[in-house]
Every structure is written in C-alpha cells, then in structure tokens.
Structure 1
C-alpha cells in the first residue's frame, strides 16, 4: 500500500504545527487573489488547498489533485462545503489539464518525491497562462535531532526505505533556481520559512512520525525491537520533544507574452 494512502486518516491531524502553517505560508507567498484559478498538486489533506480556496474566494476555482485515494476522499469530504473547490485523483508528475488552464500552480513539499521533477516543472509551466505563477515549497533544513531520530529508528527496522533521491537537490537554493529556470520560468524568489513543532511527550512525537512518511520506517520495526528503539531515541530529543524545520518558499513566473 502506498504510504500516503495508508496515513491519510492521520496526516496533519495529530495536533502538531507542521504542514498547516507551511501551507498557509506558501499561499501567502504565491499572492493568490480573489477569482484566480489554482491547481494544487499533491494536495494531501489540504494544507495548501484550503488557504488557497480562502484566498481565491467564491469567484475563484481551486482544484486539488493527489494520487492517494484516501487523501482524495477525506480532503474532498472536508471541502464539500466549498463550491469553488474540486478534489480529484491525479498525478503530480503529469497533471492532465488543458494548457493555460490556471493562474497559479502550487506544490507544497511535493517535488522531491517525484521521479522526474524537471519534467513535472515543465508540465506545470504548460498548465499556466502567460504571466501565471508557480509556488512550491521544499525542505531547506531539517532539525538535526529529527535526522538523528530517524536514523536511529531505521537502524532498528527491517529493510527501511531510502529517503527520496532528489531531496538534496531541492535543499539548495541555487539548484532550485537552476531547475525552475531550465523549465522556462523567470523572476524567481526564494524565501525561508521556519516552523517550531512541539509535542506533549514521546508517544505524541511517535504518533506524529507515524502520521506521514515516517510510517514507512515505523511499520518495519518488529515488535520485539520497539523497547530498544524507544530507549535509543530518548536521549536524542528534549523533554518534552520539540523540532525546528525550515523550508524554502519558491515563487516563479511564466514569462508574459
């Protein structure tokens, strides 16, 4: 089962500030205005979708796509009261819409998961009208404590998954600028945004790890290894646990004709 489908019910829903403030910051950076047509690729549970819908207003049109049926079902149900919002199955790698259909395309923490991010960026350009905007976010700096915890948990897992191959590319602002320029965008701005995530205790932290892609590691830890895994991560975190994460907010444009 795809991990995003597996975690859909818990994703961004365990009482921790993480994806929601990042999504709101991306929408703010994109400068979405009333009446605009927006495509949110890899919409998940709506961290970008819902603030985009608020910004576009009832005269706008916001379409969210995600490849995970569970995400689509739950987010679609949550958006049922918003007539300007549509949520449907779709591939962030190659969205199937008419060229020039949108004023804004957003992609919150999506690009580094895709098999060919450059091709995806070129596809987004085709979907935008002349002068349209692309707004994407990528991780800039994970809290070192998070990295240490995940490495330690993975050491107790059987056949843990590898991190996304493209993750390092999209942490570097210069490489980000180069990637969007190669896709035909210009006027790029990149700004940092930092979120501090606080947890009640270790169980709350682990519930959060298991509510997103971290579940791919947790589910591979045999029950007999869990006591040792928990004991190993305790000294790596403050009490109560806390993490600081910084992302890049990237906004770029299709040249006007």
Structure 2
C-alpha cells in the first residue's frame, strides 16, 4: 500500500479504528513497548504509529529526559494520538504526519513498529532503512500477525465487497508481506536477514469474542476499508450483509489477534 493510499484509508477509518483501540490496538501496543523495553532518557522512533498505541507507553517509559517521535501518514489517526498525549501530559511525545521511510533523523535507541512493516512497498528495504536509523546496539522491535489468526477474516471481507467492487478481481495482487513473517521462525529469520543480531521472538495469544456488528466496525477501521472506499450507502449495506453471511458460514465468532513480537539489535 503506497503512502497516499494508506493515508486516505486510515484517515477515513479514524472513528472505527479508535473504537477498537481499547480492545485491540492499545493492549498489543503496550505489549510491543514492554518487549522493546525503552529506558529512561532514550530516544524512540515509532513507525506507522496510528493513534499511538505503542508510542504512548514508550513515552511513559523514557520519561521527561527521553523523547519519542511517532510517525504516520494518516493525519486523522495522529490527531487522536495528539489529544491523548496532551491529556496525559506527555510533552516528550511528538506526532508527525510523514512517510517514515523518508524520515531524516537518526541516532535512536529504539525503533519500533506495531503491525506496520508489511505495508511497506518493499518490506526488506524499508525495514533496513529504519534499522539504519538506530545507534549501534540499538533495538529494532516489530509486531506481526501470527499465521491462521487475523488472516482468516480478510478473505471474507474481500469476498463480501467483490460483487460491488468487481475491479478488485482484476487488480494485480499485492505482495503478501505478512505471510513472510507470520511464524516465530520466519520472523526471526527475516530480522536476521536485514542485518540484525541477538534476535528474539515472543508469541502473544490474544483471542476475544466477535459480535458481527463489532466485526463490521473492525472492517471499516482496518485496511479492509480499502475494499469499500467510494461505495454508496446502499452498496455498503449490501457488503455488510454479505460480510455477516460470510462470518456465519465460516463459523467465525472470535477474533484471533495472535501476534508475534520480534526484537533484534543493530550491530
């Protein structure tokens, strides 16, 4: 997904994304920061930060003598993060609308990205560039979805949109970068392949009940929103009905948000 497309999709998804923050993004963001372990006084870059799910706990961890740069292309999500950071008095946290792959600053102790690296046009090149913004010995921490978890819901969402968006059928398939890092062994191997050492991967089990209405909010608050961008209200109602049917036929009444968190050091 290119930066312009991502900015449009996730800015439009602002309210639905925020609705899932307490159930999904914030808990997993807290866990990413806990594994990355930013320390008082350190500098952190949070790439593809969204509303700050992992940037806010990182800012708490580094304290007033540290600093966190939180970068995303979706201005709407950043506004949510700015409001929360201000309410918490986190003056050491700065949200910036930018393509993180062109971010000009370096010398970070930690670079972290929650479910973001697989959106890069070239996941390897983009992640190498981010790792290159670290000080020697700095930590690069990423979270990815575990195989056979979150990936179950996306095909159902796409199939629901197809009758009203037939052009999706003819669109060239996007590289499925997430499938390259959806097991502990794959993620560890990938982190090593981009030049990191002392790689460790933690698995996070995270399953919760999924009501169809909540699933639809998740659809509209995630990258799946791109399937229905530009549709009329009537067409959107049809997609919603087909999506509910697809969930029922698949027996999908839980959201498996099982994740992997990998950390490696820059030599």
Do they fold alike, i.e. is TM over 0.5?
Answer: yes
- Kindly indicate whether residue 206 of structure 2 is the aligned counterpart of residue 195 of structure 1: yes
Question: What does 1:31-180 align with in structure 2 at a 5 Å threshold?
Answer: 31-80=37-86, 81-98=89-106, 101-141=107-147, 142-143=149-150, 145-147=152-154, 149-158=156-165, 159-160=167-168, 165-180=176-191
Task: Please tell me the root mean square deviation across aligned C-alpha atoms, in Å.
Answer: 2.5
> Kindly tell me: are residues 175 and 20 of structure 1, through their superposed partners in 2, closer, same or farther at Cα, counting changes over 3 Å?
same
Q: Secondary structure at the match of 1:18?
A: helix
> Kindly tell me: are residues 202 and 228 of structure 1, through their superposed partners in 2, closer, same or farther at Cα, counting changes over 3 Å?
closer
Q: Would the aligned equivalents of 2:191 and 2:262 in 1 still touch at CA under 8 Å?
A: no
Cα distance in structure 2, aligned partners of 1:40 and 1:95:
11
1:229 equivalent in structure 2: 242
> Kindly tell me: are residues 175 and 105 of structure 1, through their superposed partners in 2, closer, same or farther at Cα, counting changes over 3 Å?
same
Cα distance in structure 2, aligned partners of 1:224 and 1:131:
51
Cα distance in structure 1, aligned partners of 2:134 and 2:158:
40
Q: Quote how far apart the aligned CAs of 1:104 are.
A: 0.4
Report which of the two has the higher share of helix.
2
Q: Secondary structure at the match of 1:184?
A: coil
Q: Secondary structure at the match of 2:70?
A: strand
Cα distance in structure 1, aligned partners of 2:249 and 2:22:
19
Question: What does 1:201-220 align with in structure 2 at a 5 Å threshold?
Answer: 201-219=211-229, 220=231
Q: Quote how far apart the aligned CAs of 1:163 are.
A: 5.8
State the TM-score, normalizing by the size of structure 1.
Answer: 0.86
Which residue of the other structure, out of 27, 31, 39, is the alignment partner of 2:33? 27
Q: Quote how far apart the aligned CAs of 1:10 are.
A: 2.8
Q: Would the aligned equivalents of 1:41 and 1:106 in 2 still touch at CA under 8 Å?
A: yes
Cα distance in structure 1, aligned partners of 2:157 and 2:19:
20
Q: Quote how far apart the aligned CAs of 1:56 are.
A: 1.3
**Greater Cα shift, 221-230 or 88-97:** 221-230
Q: Would the aligned equivalents of 1:17 and 1:195 in 2 still touch at CA under 8 Å?
A: no
Q: Quote how far apart the aligned CAs of 1:243 are.
A: 1.3
> Kindly tell me: are residues 194 and 61 of structure 1, through their superposed partners in 2, closer, same or farther at Cα, counting changes over 3 Å?
same
1:66-105 C-alpha deviation (Å, 9 max, x unpaired): 112222233223222311111112223332213xx21100
Q: Would the aligned equivalents of 1:12 and 1:20 in 2 still touch at CA under 8 Å?
A: no
1:243 equivalent in structure 2: 255
